[in-house]
Amino acid sequence: MQKSTDMTVQTARNNTVLQDLLNIKILPNNELQNKLNIQRSTLGKWKSGKWYPNRQNAKELIRIFRDLGIIIDYNSIYGDINYTDEEL
């Protein structure tokens, strides 16, 4: 019998799924920073919702979490924010 690694995440009020995943530290901060080649301050701003990942980092986050058995998409990262392709 194969163990399921699917995870359902209930978001905190007004948080995106990404913010909640980052705040519960599925991956250690330094590991995520290294995989994405980002600074600690950038990760902190993503966690707080002050900044959102650009398109390249969003794609990489989707892949990283998928490899952990957690399926997210752009809506999980950006929530209800409407960005044009140029802004991403």
pLDDT digits (tens, 9 = 90+) for 12-45: 568 999 999 999 989 999 999 999 999 999 999 9
Instruction: Give how many domains the chain has, as a whole number.
Output: 1
The answer as to whether 59 is a domain residue is yes
Closest CA to 77 of 64, 4, 39: 64
Residue 41 belongs to domain spanning: 22-78
b/e 44-70 (16+ beta carbons within 10 angstroms → b): eebbeeeebbeeebbebbbebbeeeeb
Q: What is the pLDDT of residues 49-70, one digit of tens each?
A: 999 999 999 999 999 999 999 9
The answer as to whether 12 is a domain residue is no
The answer as to whether 9 is a domain residue is no
| Residue 72 pLDDT greater than 80, yes or no | yes
Specify burial of residue 41 (Cβ count, 10 A radius: 0-12, 13-18, 19+).
exposed
The answer as to whether 60 is a domain residue is yes
Supply the pTM of this predicted model: 0.76
Q: Which residue has the tokens 């909640």?
A: 20
